[in-house]
Amino acid sequence: MSSQSQAASATKDVASLASPTQEADPAQVARTARIWGNVRIYGVLTGLIVVWEILGKSGLFEPIILPAFTDVLKSVWVNAVEGDLFLAIGWSCYRVFMGFGLGMLLAVPLGVAIGWSRVCEDLFNPIVEILRPIPPLAWIPLSIIWLGVGFKSVLFITTLGSFFPILVATIAGVRNVDRRMIEFARTLGASTGQILLKVVIPAAMPQTFVGMRIAVGFSWMVVVAAEMISVKYGLGWLIWKARFSFDTATVMAGMAIIGLLSVLMTKAMIYLEGMLFSWKKGIVKG
């Protein structure tokens, strides 16, 4: 081999050592993308808050129209010191948890029954399709007539708000279970009850959790509206009371807290979903 070819070969080897080809770690790529995604989100939020504060302090808008961001924070502090804020948060969270839990307890068994049994589908599906498009808030007058003004009517409305998203998701989850899994379980001698408990319900749960995440947002929407009409304490009541005194800062503070609580509950659901169903494609543990 000539000296020129040897030199070219050596140069090629050195170049390959200097810049080795490495495949990127998918987990590292996903983590980096998530970090930059959070940076963008918080950057946009910070920018919006700065613009909000500037507009609020500029005098272009009356405080009743657009209070400054610092005025909203001051309202949060005042209501927290007086105790109204924590009382309102506690009552609203309690009603959301109760309504969400009751809606889940009713929706999951019914969804499994409708998704699994043709008889149950023929019996219940027409009723579900008639009632499902009715907004939960449209039930408020009837709930007050039936249950009176107070906790029972709010619980009824909140339960409705969470019931249908979980029901529809559970039905879809049961119907999408791989039939080969069911037939294989039957081949092994499993009874219908065993198939439901050990095959169908576990396989449908990831889809049910999607409905539960949607139901969390619905629960907060309806509980706040119901609190404005039917009960004395809660974030909805706090907002409604501030409206009569034209306290826009407190109204916005209540709205922001509702959004924050809803996001926190949704994040908790996503985290729990990732822990329980990390095997499911598309679910990444946070």
Structure-token pair, residue 16: 């390959």
Residues near 248 by beta carbon (within 8 Å), at least 6 away in sequence: 63, 64, 65, 66, 67, 242
Structure-token pair, residue 79: 């209501």
95 and 36 fall within a common domain:
no
User: Is 285 domain-assigned?
Assistant: no
> Residue 125 above 60 pLDDT?
yes
The stretch 244-272 carries a mean pLDDT of: 90
Read off the pLDDT band of 9 (50, 70, 90).
low
Count of structural domains, the chain: 2
User: Is 152 domain-assigned?
Assistant: yes
By CB atoms closer than 10 A (0-12, 13-18, 19+), residue 167 is buried
User: Is 258 domain-assigned?
Assistant: yes
Task: Give the CATH number for residue 72.
Answer: 1.10.3720.10
Q: Are 265 and 255 in contact (CB under 8 A)?
A: no
pLDDT at position 180 is 87
User: Is 103 domain-assigned?
Assistant: yes
175 and 206 fall within a common domain:
yes
What is this structure's pTM? 0.78
Of the chain, the percentage scoring pLDDT greater than 70 comes to 88
What are the distances in angstroms from CA 109 to CA 99, 112, 122? Answer: 16, 5, 16
pLDDT at position 98 is 94
pLDDT at position 24 is 62
Range of the domain at 94: 67-276
42 and 149 fall within a common domain:
no
What tens digit of pLDDT does each residue of 171-224 get?
999 998 888 888 888 888 888 888 888 888 888 898 999 999 999 988 998 988
Residues near 185 by beta carbon (within 8 Å), at least 6 away in sequence: 194, 195, 198, 199
Residue that is written with structure tokens 């309202």 in the block: 75
Q: What is the DSSP letter of 24?
A: P
* 170 closest CA partner among 103, 109, 97: 109
Across the chain, mean pLDDT equals 84
pLDDT at position 212 is 92
